[in-house]
């Protein structure tokens, strides 16, 4: 078995000689770091020293010998307890070497943990019940292997005094300032008002009626954010779209060429608008080139139709470990939350949805968490109920609040951001102007906000004296999404403040890779 008695002895010597360093290593080391299958000596000594130090009591070799005698601990080869403890106490070890030995011992424990996890997994697979399904075998093996590693990483952290760590945390952040906490998206106003909505351990939800563009928005946002931040995207599709459909959509969004030209294959010899056939070909092939040259641009697709919540979360963890890598960032796109019709009758639809959202939240917030930090952010969508219908309705009869969310209140409860996406009706486009886009993105819930939070909190004062809740303007075309400012920009425009809703600042433009820049003429 993988172990090092010499390292263990040096760590015990260091504990006896440098007891003032206990607080520094208390959250790092525990009894699992001492191999105990052949002998209980080292683990017994460590537990006694730890018990005294946790109580604030000093301990020396004499006290330790008395406590070991009281426990009747037997040593291999009839070693005398006093002789062994004295050798630990008088072995000279500096503070620096002591701390280094603690870290090295932790590496040995990591190797032993991995070895044990592999051994348990191998034994299970070798003797697996033949009546188990393929999915059950995979899930059980995955749990056996990763559970020990997860426990090893989490350790025995215990309760944390938040006030005690406050100063160090805030001062450290001041020494190492960040532009944002999370992955900045491609839209300027969204970033300013709501901050990065792709934030590890959090779920952002887009609610919309069918055909309003929620899939286009969610996938466009995830892929562009992933490309800008060199973070891979994993997309789960609930059986609505095939690989080919999504490939065509993404190519259309990124090249600006209509999907019908790509699907029919006529993109090689047909012009589009003011583009010649040669220019269309150049745009499409330039998209391929940019993807190949992009650093870390990955979009993994999995069809999860027919899977239940547990199977999908198991699939998510497997692809994370196999494709992304432990501790690396990942964007999870799920299209979309709906009732599992195959299991209707076993549970109510709202209960199924609540369990699904809870499992996803648990997976990205707790299970895929390393060194105490989550690594996966999630963007998903859900259909609105009939209150969200806007067809043949006047502006005054449109419902733009969280009552339009269908299926379960758990969706609103577990998400950090909730946005309503809908097409603007004819009256709104006529009133606001075509320059301000085709769609509205209305925030219904925000657990976190950006640097311009007041733009969300305060209502917008319109030129006619009325006050309205702010929203983001979008233009969705050819499956690409362009931000066109917010309602405050519309109010400013009407008040004579000259702006260009479709413009981007030079700073914003340089932050995004070329592949993400849109041709404003298309």
What CATH number has the domain bearing residue 10? 1.10.860.10
Do residue 123 and residue 195 come from a single domain?
no
- Taking the alpha carbons of 394, 400, 404, 405 in that order, is the dihedral positive or negative? positive
Task: Tell me the CATH number at 462.
Answer: 3.40.50.300
Q: pLDDT at position 506, please?
A: 36
What φ, ψ does residue 503 adopt, rounded to 5°? -80, 160
Bridge-based pairing state of the strands 299-303 and 460-461: unpaired
Does the pLDDT value for residue 300 go beyond 80?
yes
Q: Are strands 330-337 and 203-208 parallel, antiparallel or unpaired?
A: unpaired
Of residues 236 and 480, more confidently modeled: 236
Residues 235 and 331 in one domain: yes
Query: How much is the mean pLDDT over the chain?
Result: 85
Residues linked to residue 76 through DSSP beta bridges, in sequence order = none
Residue 511 has pLDDT above 50, yes or no: no
- 341 pLDDT band, cuts 50/70/90, is very low
The predicted structure's pLDDT at residue 291 = 87
How many domains is the chain built from? 2
What pLDDT, on a 0 to 100 scale, did the predictor assign at position 38? 76
Q: Are residues 368 and 510 in the same domain?
A: yes
Q: How far is it, in rounded angstroms, from Cα 294 to Cα 287?
A: 10
Asked if residues 206 and 217 have their Cβ atoms less than 8 Å apart, the reply is yes
- 377 within some domain: yes
* 169 found inside a domain: no
% the chain with pLDDT above 70: 89
Does residue 144 lie within any of the structural domains? no
**Highest mean pLDDT, choosing among 342-356, 381-395, 450-464:** 450-464
Ordered DSSP codes for 335-390: EEE---GGGBTTB-HHHHHHHHHHHHHHIIIIITEETTEE-EEEEEEEEB-GGG--
Contact 85, 68 (CB under 8 A): yes
Q: Are residues 325 and 252 in the same domain?
A: yes
Domain boundary among 105, 128, 151: 128
Q: Are residues 217 and 101 in the same domain?
A: no
Judge if 193 and 59 occupy the same domain.
Answer: no
Confidence grade of residue 322 (pLDDT, cut at 50, 70, 90): confident
The pLDDT > 90 percentage for the chain reads 39
Report if residue 265 sits inside a domain: yes
At residue 406 the predicted structure's pLDDT band, cuts being 50, 70 and 90, is confident
pLDDT at residue 505 in the model:
41
User: Which of the residue ranges 160-169, 346-355, 385-394, 399-408 would you say has the lowest mean pLDDT?
Assistant: 346-355
Specify the DSSP class assigned to residue 234: E
Same domain assignment for residues 120 and 197 = no
More confident residue, 303 or 70: 303
Report the candidate in 221, 220, 227 with the shortest Cα–Cα distance to residue 198: 221
pTM over 0.95: no
pLDDT at site 514: 40
Residue 164, domain member (yes or no): no
From residue 135, give the alpha-carbon distance in Å to each of 121, 139, 213, 242: 15, 6, 34, 22
pLDDT digits (tens, 9 = 90+) for 17-57: 999 888 788 878 888 889 888 778 888 889 899 888 888 88
Q: Which of 168-172, 497-501, 512-516 has the lowest mean pLDDT?
A: 512-516
Answer yes or no: is 419 within a domain. Answer: yes
343 domain-assigned: yes
**Domain match, 117 and 201 both:** no
Phi, psi (deg, nearest 5) at residue 289: -65, -45
- Out of 128, 143, 162, a domain closes at 128
> In terms of residue numbers, what domain contains 108?
5-128
Q: What pLDDT is stored for residue 139 in this prediction?
A: 75
Whether 11 is covered by a domain: the verdict is yes
Q: Which of 93, 113, 128 lies at the terminal end of a domain, its last residue?
A: 128
Residues 119 and 192 in one domain: no
């Amino acid at each position: 078995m993988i172990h090092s008695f010499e390292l263990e002895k040096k760590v015990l010597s260091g504990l006896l000689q440098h007891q003032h360093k206990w607080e520094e290593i208390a959250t790092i080391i525990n009894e699992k770091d001492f191999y105990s299958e052949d002998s209980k000596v080292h683990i017994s000594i460590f537990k006694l020293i730890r018990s005294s130090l946790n109580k604030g009591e000093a301990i020396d070799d004499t006290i330790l010998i008395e406590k070991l005698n009281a426990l009747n601990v037997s040593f291999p080869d009839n070693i005398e307890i006093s002789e062994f403890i004295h050798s630990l106490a008088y072995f000279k070890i500096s503070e620096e070497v002591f701390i280094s030995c603690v870290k090295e011992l932790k590496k040995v424990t990591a190797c032993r943990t991995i070895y044990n996890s592999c051994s348990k997994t191998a034994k299970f697979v070798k003797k697996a019940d033949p009546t188990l399904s393929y999915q059950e075998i995979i899930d059980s093996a995955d749990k056996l292997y990763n559970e020990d590693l997860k426990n090893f990483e989490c350790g025995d952290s215990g309760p944390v005094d938040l006030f005690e760590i406050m100063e160090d945390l805030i001062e450290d952040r001041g020494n190492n300032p960040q532009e944002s906490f999370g992955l900045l998206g491609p839209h300027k106003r969204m970033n300013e008002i709501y901050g990065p909505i792709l934030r590890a351990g959090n779920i952002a939800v887009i609610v919309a009626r069918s055909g309003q563009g929620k899939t286009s928005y969610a996938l466009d946002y995830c892929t562009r954010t992933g490309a800008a931040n060199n973070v891979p995207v994993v997309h789960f599709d609930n059986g609505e779209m095939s690989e080919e459909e999504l490939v065509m959509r993404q190519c259309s969004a990124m090249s600006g060429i209509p999907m019908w030209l790509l699907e029919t294959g006529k993109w090689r010899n047909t012009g589009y608008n003011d583009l010649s056939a040669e220019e269309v070909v150049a745009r499409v092939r330039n998209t391929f080139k940019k993807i190949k040259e992009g650093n870390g641009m990955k979009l993994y697709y999995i069809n999860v139709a027919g899977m239940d919540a547990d199977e999908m979360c198991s699939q998510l963890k497997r692809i994370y470990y196999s494709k992304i890598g432990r501790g690396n960032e990942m964007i999870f796109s799920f299209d979309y939350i709906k009732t599992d019709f195959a299991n209707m009758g076993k549970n109510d639809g709202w209960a199924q949805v609540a369990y699904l959202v809870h499992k996803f939240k648990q997976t990205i917030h707790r299970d895929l968490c390393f060194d105490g930090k989550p690594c996966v952010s999630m963007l998903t969508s859900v259909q609105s109920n009939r209150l969200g219908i806007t067809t043949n309705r006047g502006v005054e009869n449109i419902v733009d609040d969280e009552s339009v969310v269908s299926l379960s209140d758990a969706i609103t409860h577990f998400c950090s951001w909730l946005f309503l996406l809908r097409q603007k009706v004819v009256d709104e486009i006529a009133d606001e102007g075509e320059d301000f886009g085709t769609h509205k993105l209305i925030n219904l819930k925000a657990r976190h906000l950006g640097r311009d939070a007041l733009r969300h909190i305060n209502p917008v004062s319109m030129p006619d004296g009325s006050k309205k809740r702010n929203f983001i303007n979008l233009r969705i075309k050819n499956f690409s999404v362009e931000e066109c400012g917010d309602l405050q920009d519309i109010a400013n425009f009407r008040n004579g403040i000259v702006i260009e809703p479709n413009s981007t600042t030079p700073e914003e433009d340089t932050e995004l890779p070329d592949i993400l820049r849109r041709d404003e003429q298309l």
